[in-house]
Each structure stands twice: as structure tokens, then as C-alpha cells.
Copies of this chain bind each other. A is one copy, B any other.
């Protein structure tokens, strides 16, 4: 493997000149520059990443920190990761994956102290995340995909939940719906202050009130069984509901089952829309669910960009980047059903396939 030394000799210049030529750290006469690059080409030379990192104190390696334990449905997370990896590469960085189940600042310290990475991108942060406090304390560059309780001064990117919920509700309102239910995450998750759950709930309440829409909010565990039960309880209690927006995609199969059991039809008898689930998943339902697709790849990209901006010493003017989800229609939303029958249906002769 050729080294810088080899290149220097071949180009008849000193080693440092090669270095400066490569890094553009210092003006080089066009002629020698040519010679150097020619020599590099001929030798197939590539700078050694470790040596460069050691000498310059910049490894050009970033870490993506994501807890493998508390992950959701996957496909979205994968997009985060790929978006981040792609962007890192585009910006001349490497990306290492740190799967820490521990949200411990201790483990993070050990990793950082290895001097491997120039900065970290955090995912799945908690409202009061010790890791963040630690990173600030030691003044280590980082960015966040997600949000904390207090985000002042933090470089973060997140879903614009307000706008996302607004889009969903408006879509339903435009279809004539006036009684809309919101199926939330599980109560424990909400009570623990899980950001997406809290923010969407707030937004839903505010927006429905603003638009004069009757609303209900229900917690629901992320299982088909819970979806089934929750739906039935909801409709029994509030039969006037004609549309449901749900924050957890895993309750849909159960809800669809419950709907079928009643002999109802989507979207004729009830409209469904998923908040924040990927179109891929939404298409696994019948009919495909309308969804607000999270801008996962973009968030991954922004997470890295916000970090690299700091590393490159660029003034990080805007440190907050909120991206709305994109409405993807899928056939599960339609005009509000005629309020004549209550609850209405077309046929009731559908067999119960069991749950």
C-alpha cells in the first residue's frame, strides 16, 4: 500500500507538500500540484484514515446512536439510518453504528473517550436525557433526531407533529367529518412523556377545538387485540364517530377486524388514517391505509448535516428543523357517512373470521 512518502518521492517534492496539496491547506503551484496528483493516480494512493485522524485530531467519523431496545416498526428506522449513512458519505464522513440499550452517560463516555468519532447523532432521546447533559458538559459535538423537554441551544431535527396532525384532521374535515377520534399510544407511554405521543395529542386537541370538531382521545396498546377492544369500546360509547386517526399502526389490524365484524366497510362507514407510518406498511392493509408518511430519510440526513455543520465550524444559525409528514392517500378515507342510520352498514352477513 503506497504511502504519502511514496507519492512525494515520485513527484519529487517533500512529503508535506503532498499533504498540503491533498488538503488544500496551503497554496501550491499548479505545476507541482499536477505532478503530485499524477503520482497519486499512478500509485493508486489513498490517504490513510487512521493516520490522518490521529495527526489532525479529526477522524471524520460520526456515530449514530440508537437504542436497539425501544425501537418501533423498523422500516422507518431503517430509513433514518440509511439517510444518515448516505449523507455522512456525501459529506466525506464515515458513520459508525452504536447500538446502546443503555441510556447511560457512562457508556457514552467510554465510547467517546476512545477518540474514534468527531461527533454523535442521537436518536430516541428522552425528555430529560442524561446523555445530552453529559455531551453538553464535556462540550462534545452532537445533534439530535427527536426532541427533549428543553431544546434551547440544541441542534435537532424532528417531525413537525403539529403540522402533521393538522394535515390529517383537515383532510378528514374536508371529507365532511365532524366527529373524529384519536387513537393514541398506550397510556404508560404517554404518561412517561414520550414526545410524539404528547405532541400529537396536544395538537389534536388544539386543532379539533379550533375547527369546532367533536373529538375523542383513546389510549391503545400497540397490538391487534387492543385495537379491536379499543375500537369497539369507542364506537359503542361514541357511535357518532365517523373517522379515526391513529398514532400507532399496530392497532389497525384489530380495528379493521372489529370493523369487519360489524359488517362495516372502510371508508364508507368509517374513515381511517394513520399518523406517522410508512406507506410500505400502510399498503399492507386492505384497503391501503391513508397515512402521514414520516420524512425518515430526510430526518436522518438533517441529523448528520446539523452535526457536520458544527464540526466544520460553520455558524449553525438554524438549529431546529421540523419536517411535516407527507399525506399519502390510500383508500381508507372517504366522505363522512350519511348520518341517517346510526350505526349504519351495508351487509351484516360477513362471517366472523375470529381474532
Residue pair A350, B353 in contact (C-beta under 8 Å): no
Q: Is the CB–CB distance between B86 and A78 below 8 Å?
A: no
Bound-state CA distance A287–B355 (Å) is 7
CA distance A284 to B250 in the complex (A): 7
Query: For the complex, is A216 an interface residue (Cβ under 8 Å from B)?
Result: no
Q: Which of A55-108 contact B (CB under 8 A)?
A: 59, 61, 68, 72-75, 77-79, 81-82, 85-86, 89, 94-99
Within 8 A of B (CB), among A120-143: none
Stretch touching chain B among A12-20, A28-36, A110-118, A306-314: A110-118
23 A–B contacts from the bound complex (CB under 8 Å) = A1-B113, A46-B114, A47-B114, A48-B54, A48-B114, A48-B115, A49-B115, A50-B53, A51-B115, A73-B280, A74-B78, A78-B78, A81-B97, A89-B98, A89-B99, A250-B283, A265-B353, A281-B284, A284-B284, A346-B351, A347-B349, A347-B351, A349-B350
With A1-B115, A50-B53, A347-B349 known, 20 other A-B pairs at CB within 8 A are A50-B50, A50-B115, A73-B75, A74-B75, A74-B280, A75-B75, A75-B78, A81-B81, A85-B98, A94-B116, A95-B97, A96-B96, A97-B97, A224-B288, A252-B284, A253-B284, A253-B285, A260-B286, A287-B353, A346-B351
Closest 8 CB pairs of A and B: A74-B75, A46-B113, A284-B284, A78-B78, A49-B114, A49-B116, A85-B97, A347-B349
